[in-house]
Structure 1
Amino acid sequence: MSASSSSVPSRAGRPAPPVDADARSHHYGAFYSLADGPEADATVVVGNCQAESLRVMLDGPALATVRIPAVHELTVDDLPYLRYWLERAAVLVSQPVRADYHGMPLGTAQLASLLPAGGRLVRVPVLRVAGLYPTHAIVRPPSDLSLVPPVVEYHDLRVLAEAAARLDGRAVGPTGLAGRLDVAAVHAVADESLEQLRRREAANETVVLSDLFLRPLFDQMRTLNHPGNSVFAAAAGRVRAVLGLPEHVVDPGRPLLDRVHAPREAAVIEAFGLSDEATDHWVVDGAVVPVEQVREAHLDWYAAHPDAVAAGLVRHAGALATLGLA
Structure 2
Amino acid sequence: MRDADRSDRAIAAPGSAVLGRRRHYGEFFGLDPLPERFGIVIGNCQAESMRLVLDAPERRFVRVPPVHELDAADAARLRELVALADHIVSQPIRDDYRSLPVGTRQITALAAGPVVTVPPARFAGLHPFQAAIRVAGVEEDPPIVAYHDVRTLAAAAGREAAPALSPDAVRALGDASVDVLREREERTDVPLSDLYATVTADHARTVNHPGNAIFLPLGARLLAALGLDGGVVDPGRPLLSAVRAPLLPEVVEAWSLPDEPRAHWIVDGREVDDAEIRAAHTAWYAAHPGFVAAAVARLAPLLSAWGAA
TM-score by structure 2 length? 0.90
Q: CA deviation at 1:243?
A: 2.0
Aligned residue for 1:122, secondary structure, equals strand
Are the aligned partners of 1:94 and 1:124 in contact in 2 as well (CA < 8 Å)? yes
Whether 1:33 aligns to 2:16 is no
- Cα distance in 2 between the residues matched to 1:247 and 1:231: 18
For residue 93 of structure 1, the aligned residue among 86, 89, 92 is 89
Show the 5 A alignment for 1:1-326: 22-40=19-37, 42-61=38-57, 63-116=59-112, 119-144=113-138, 146-165=139-158, 177=161, 179-202=163-186, 204-326=187-309
Are the aligned partners of 1:92 and 1:121 in contact in 2 as well (CA < 8 Å)? yes
Aligned residue for 1:219, secondary structure, equals helix
Are the aligned partners of 1:140 and 1:311 in contact in 2 as well (CA < 8 Å)? no
Q: CA deviation at 1:249?
A: 3.2
Are the aligned partners of 1:185 and 1:323 in contact in 2 as well (CA < 8 Å)? no
Are the aligned partners of 1:48 and 1:72 in contact in 2 as well (CA < 8 Å)? yes
Letter in structure 1 aligned against 2:123: V
- Cα distance in 1 between the residues matched to 2:27 and 2:107: 19
Deviations for 1:232-253, whole angstroms, at most 9, x for unmatched residues?
1111100111123344131223
- Cα distance in 1 between the residues matched to 2:119 and 2:92: 7
- Cα distance in 2 between the residues matched to 1:311 and 1:158: 16
Long gaps (5+) in structure 2: 1-16
Aligned residue for 1:222, secondary structure, equals strand
Deviations for 1:203-224, whole angstroms, at most 9, x for unmatched residues?
x223110111123211121111
Are the aligned partners of 2:83 and 2:111 in contact in 1 as well (CA < 8 Å)? yes
- Cα distance in 2 between the residues matched to 1:79 and 1:298: 34
Long gaps (5+) in structure 1: 1-19
The structure 1 segments of at least 4 consecutive aligned residues displaced by more than 3 Å after TM superposition are none
**Cα gap change, 1:298/1:21 in structure 2, threshold over 3 Å: closer, same or farther?**
closer
Aligned residue for 1:93, secondary structure, equals strand
Are the aligned partners of 1:188 and 1:322 in contact in 2 as well (CA < 8 Å)? no
- Cα distance in 2 between the residues matched to 1:265 and 1:21: 39
Aligned residue for 2:292, secondary structure, equals helix
Deviations for 1:235-275, whole angstroms, at most 9, x for unmatched residues?
11001111233441312232211111100000111111111
Q: CA deviation at 1:92?
A: 1.2
Aligned residue for 2:106, secondary structure, equals helix
Deviations for 1:28-52, whole angstroms, at most 9, x for unmatched residues?
0011010022113x21110011001
Structure 1 equivalent of residue 3 of structure 2 = none
Aligned-residue sequence identity (percent) comes to: 47
Q: CA deviation at 1:21?
A: 6.4
Letter in structure 2 aligned against 1:293: E
Deviations for 1:101-150, whole angstroms, at most 9, x for unmatched residues?
0101010010111112xx10100111111110011002223322x22111
Q: Which deviates more, 240-249 or 129-138? A: 240-249
**Cα gap change, 1:279/1:178 in structure 2, threshold over 3 Å: closer, same or farther?**
farther
- Cα distance in 2 between the residues matched to 1:71 and 1:229: 22
Q: CA-atom RMSD, angstroms?
A: 1.7
Deviations for 1:266-294, whole angstroms, at most 9, x for unmatched residues?
01111111111111110001111111111
